[in-house]
């Protein structure tokens, strides 16, 4: 069986996906199809690993990590069936730039909702240049999907053959037809804005800080990932969200020192602030676009 290509994809697009389809043939792979038609079995992402936690047990660890890019946060789970990735993840000390190649995954609990994640095959600490190059590659890939989807929206009827005739590669053409059938008309303006935000992130004035190098520790694999219900922010988190919004005056995110100071004045103690920040990251209400800055989604 041919090895699947690893898509370069931003978290903002990946996390919008809720369509999973099966391939054909023996040992058919499964794919996550995004609203722009990326048909993803394997994915390659580079970002800032901001948090690593064992959500399993000491005997059967399951490592969960958050990886931030300019558009949002990927959730990565590595357990007993990904021993090399789990071992590598357990040895990293965030924040650190990380490159991850892994399998796409969609989880739909009985209670409703859809959650995307990555089951890693390889995880490595990288430097800022690799992250910036990945952003550029992900922008190029997204631009192609935007152009192809724009042409697709003009077609009546929309067919895979029609797309391939105008130069769209077969895999993307299939994904676009499936995406259009499931999601309806894609909001191209939203994804164009996402692309512009990612490109803006490469400007020199957006480059601040550099994460520390990864340090060795210990660990192993095990257990099942836990999916969370979407939750509303509590009172402390609401105040922290207001602080982050008020301090994000230049669009680069609110600086941590400013959040700490303003949250204190708003009556949120430092330990409660850290707890609220972690909870808001878990709920997908904020992300860390640049080291040391928080931005509301």
Cβ contact 222:61 at 8 Å = yes
Quick one: pLDDT at residue 223?
43
pLDDT tens digits for range 252-270: 778 877 888 888 888 888 7
Q: What is the mean pLDDT of the chain?
A: 85
Checking if the pLDDT of 212 tops 60, the result is no
| Exposure on the CB side of residue 28, measured as CA atoms within 13 A | 8
Q: CB of 28 within 8 A of CB of 191?
A: no
DSSP state of 284: T
For 32-44, write each residue's pLDDT tens digit: 999 999 999 999 9
Q: Which residue has the higher pLDDT, 95 or 172?
A: 172
- 157 vs 95: which has the higher pLDDT: 157
Model confidence at 217, pLDDT cuts 50, 70, 90, reads: very low
Spatial distance between the Cα atoms of 98 and 84, rounded to a whole number of angstroms: 15
With a cut of 50, say whether residue 229 has pLDDT above it. Answer: no
- Per-residue pLDDT tens over the stretch 1-12: 556 789 999 999
Beta strands at 42-54 and 6-8: parallel, antiparallel or unpaired? parallel
Q: What is the pLDDT of residues 13-25, one digit of tens each?
A: 999 999 999 877 7
| Arithmetic mean of pLDDT, 108-137 | 89
- The β-bridge partners of 98 are 47, 125
Over 90: is that where the pLDDT of 239 sits?
no
As a whole-number percent, the residues of the chain with pLDDT over 70 amount to 87
- Point out the least confidently predicted range of 24-38, 120-134, 226-240: 226-240
| Among 36, 130, 12, 271, CA closest to 263 | 271
Tens of pLDDT, residues 170-211: 999 999 999 999 999 999 999 999 999 999 888 877 665 444
pLDDT at res. 226: 46
Closest CA to 209 of 97, 125, 291, 128: 291
Sequence-distant (6+) residues with CB within 8 A of 182 are 19, 33
Q: Please give the sequence-ordered ranges of beta strands (E in DSSP) within 190-237, or none if there are none.
A: none
Q: Is the pLDDT of residue 219 over 60?
A: no
Work out the number of other CB atoms within 10 angstroms of the CB of residue 186: 22
More confident residue, 252 or 169: 169
Q: Which of 104, 149, 140 minimizes the C-alpha distance to 5?
A: 104
Question: What does the alpha-carbon distance between residue 163 and residue 32 come to, in Å, rounded to a whole number?
Answer: 20
Find all residues with CB under 8 Å of 257, minimum gap 6, and list them.
Answer: none
At residue 283 the predicted structure's pLDDT band, cuts being 50, 70 and 90, is: low
User: Alpha-carbon distance 182 to 33, whole Å?
Assistant: 9
pLDDT over threshold 80, residue 26 = no
């Amino acid at each position: 069986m041919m090895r699947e290509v690893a898509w370069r994809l931003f978290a903002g697009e990946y996390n919008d996906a809720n369509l999973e389809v099966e391939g054909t043939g023996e040992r058919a792979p499964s794919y996550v199809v995004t609203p722009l038609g990326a048909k993803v079995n394997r994915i390659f992402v580079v970002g800032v690993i901001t948090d690593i936690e064992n959500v399993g047990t000491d005997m059967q660890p399951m490592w969960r990590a958050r990886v931030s890019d300019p558009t949002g946060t990927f959730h990565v789970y590595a357990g007993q069936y990904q021993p090399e990735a789990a071992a590598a993840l357990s040895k990293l000390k965030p924040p650190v730039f990380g490159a991850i190649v892994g399998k796409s995954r969609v989880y739909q609990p009985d209670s409703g909702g859809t959650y995307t994640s990555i089951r890693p095959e390889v995880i490595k600490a990288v430097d800022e240049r690799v992250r910036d190059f990945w952003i550029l590659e992900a922008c190029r890939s997204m631009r192609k999907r935007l152009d192809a989807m724009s042409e697709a929206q003009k077609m009546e009827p929309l067919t895979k053959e029609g797309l391939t005739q105008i130069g769209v590669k077969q895999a993307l053409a299939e994904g676009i037809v499936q995406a259009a059938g499931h999601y309806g008309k894609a909001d191209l303006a939203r994804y164009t804005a996402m692309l512009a935000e990612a490109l803006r992130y490469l400007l020199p004035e957006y480059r601040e800080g550099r994460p520390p190098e990864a340090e060795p520790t210990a660990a192993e694999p095990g257990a099942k990932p836990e999916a969370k219900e979407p939750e509303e922010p509590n009172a402390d988190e609401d105040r922290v969200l207001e602080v982050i919004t008020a301090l994000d005056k230049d669009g680069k995110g609110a600086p941590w020192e400013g959040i700490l100071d303003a949250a204190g004045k708003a009556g949120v103690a430092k330990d409660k602030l850290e707890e609220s920040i972690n909870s808001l990251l878990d709920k997908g209400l904020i992300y860390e676009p640049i080291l040391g800055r928080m931005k509301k989604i």
